[in-house]
């Protein structure tokens, strides 16, 4: 074997990376805009190999993620590896029915505390990085942006979420629609300018979680409140 073997292995890995359509990874992450998804599907209709890859990279179903959560939450000392795990219908249905009954009897309680997470762009902190210091993220408008709010404990009852933007022209609801997980966690993810409906410039973004019917008006979304709220300032370029 030649001396340059590690370099050739690395080169092969680079070729592999480059051979994969970059849209596929974003498809799996649920980060393609409807327009980009339509374009990918149109391309796949003309290219059987791409069609096979699109089928492989389509986002995992929420049912599968629920099954994973169920299995990994099981209080067992050791995780057993079934040969094929994809057919667990009954336990899930039973659990869902039990949860529904519990909610009916007790009604929804107050929301727990939430932890926030932002992904995308570079953080520019001004002043001391104290908890009060607002980091401003600088990012390209076509970059991926993720905002998440995760509850400290399982949320009892339904929650809804909405994203808001505030520019010099005022505050309004953002076009991006957050996903709400059965656990009460909320995620807003996608191409920044499409999520926010802002092409460039400085914009404040607020992701708010509330009980149904209790979401704030756009102006109130940026005011201090009791409910879970994640606020971030972005400079889109």
Residues in Cβ contact with 208 at an 8 Å cutoff, skipping those fewer than 6 apart = 161, 162, 163, 164, 215, 216, 221, 225, 227, 228, 229
Q: Three-state SS for 39?
A: helix
Q: Give the shortest CB-26-to-another protein separation in angstroms.
A: 10
d(CA 210, CA 91): 29
* Nearest distance from C-beta of residue 205 to another protein, angstroms: 10
CA 214/CA 158 separation, integer angstroms = 12
Residue pair 111/215 in contact by the 8 Å Cβ criterion: no
Among 39, 20, 33, 57, smallest CA distance to 144 is for 33
Judged by beta carbon, residue 46 or residue 81, the one nearer another protein is 81
In the complex with another protein, the residue whose CB is nearer, 67 or 162, is 67
Residue pair 180/160 in contact by the 8 Å Cβ criterion = yes
In the complex, the smallest distance separating the C-beta of residue 134 from another protein, rounded to whole angstroms, is: 7
Between 193 and 229, name the residue whose CB sits nearer to another protein.
Answer: 229
Q: How far is the CB of 142 from another protein (least distance, A)?
A: 19
Among residues 68 and 177, whose Cβ is nearest to another protein? Answer: 68
In the bound complex, what is the minimum distance in angstroms from residue 39's beta carbon to another protein? Answer: 20
- Specify the residue, 2 or 104, whose C-beta has the smaller distance to another protein: 2
């Amino acid at each position: 074997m030649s001396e340059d073997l590690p370099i050739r292995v690395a080169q092969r890995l680079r070729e592999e990376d480059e051979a994969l359509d970059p849209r596929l990874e974003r498809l799996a992450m649920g980060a393609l805009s409807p327009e980009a998804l339509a374009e990918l599907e149109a391309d796949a209709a003309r290219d059987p190999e791409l069609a096979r890859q699109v089928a492989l990279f389509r986002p995992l179903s929420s049912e599968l993620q629920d099954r994973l959560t169920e299995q990994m939450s099981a209080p067992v000392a050791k995780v057993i590896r079934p040969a094929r795990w994809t057919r667990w219908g009954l336990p899930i249905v039973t659990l869902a029915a039990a949860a529904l009954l519990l909610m009916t009897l007790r009604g929804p309680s107050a929301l727990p505390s939430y932890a926030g997470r932002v992904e995308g762009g570079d953080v520019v902190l001004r002043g001391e990085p104290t908890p009060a210091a607002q980091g401003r993220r600088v990012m390209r408008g076509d970059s991926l942006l993720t905002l998440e709010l995760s509850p400290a404990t399982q949320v009892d009852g339904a929650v809804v979420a909405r994203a808001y933007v505030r520019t010099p022209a005022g505050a309004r609801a953002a076009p991006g629609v957050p996903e709400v997980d059965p656990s009460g966690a909320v995620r807003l993810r996608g191409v920044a300018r499409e999520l926010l409906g802002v092409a460039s410039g400085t914009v404040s973004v607020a992701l708010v979680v509330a009980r149904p019917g209790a979401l704030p008006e756009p102006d109130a979304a940026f005011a201090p409140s009791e409910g879970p709220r994640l606020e971030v300032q972005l400079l889109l370029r």
